[in-house]
Amino acid sequence: MPGLNVEPNGNARIDLWCRTVTARIEISDAAIKVEAGSLPENPPEMQSAGQCTPERIQADEELFATLAQVTAWRREGENIVLEGPKPLRFYQSSH
């Protein structure tokens, strides 16, 4: 399950389906800007065989591209919605 972890200083880690990307995120009022590093060519070696299907790799690329286009954010209860061409909802981790 993809996840987004942003530190108070703006450094962030974006966990996609198969890959992880570091980023810098600037947040102010309702605006947000995501400056991500490049998407790694290959998944981490620690992943089990078959874990990263072609569909999940494609999903990584689509989510990564969508994140680069977000311009606003808002809260929905405990969750965060990133707004852009396609809204992205991130739920607070329960573990």
Q: In this predicted structure, what is the pLDDT of residue 52?
A: 84
Span 18-40, average pLDDT: 92
What tens digit of pLDDT does each residue of 61-92 get? 999 999 999 999 999 998 999 999 999 998 87
Q: What is the pTM of this model?
A: 0.82
pLDDT digits (tens, 9 = 90+) for 30-60: 999 999 988 887 766 666 667 788 898 899 9
The pLDDT, as a whole number, for residue 53 is 85
According to the CATH classification, is domain 3-36+53-90 in 2.40.128.270?
A: yes
In the sheet that holds 72-76, the strands lie side by side as 3-6, 11-15, 20-28, 31-36, 72-76, 79-83, 88-90
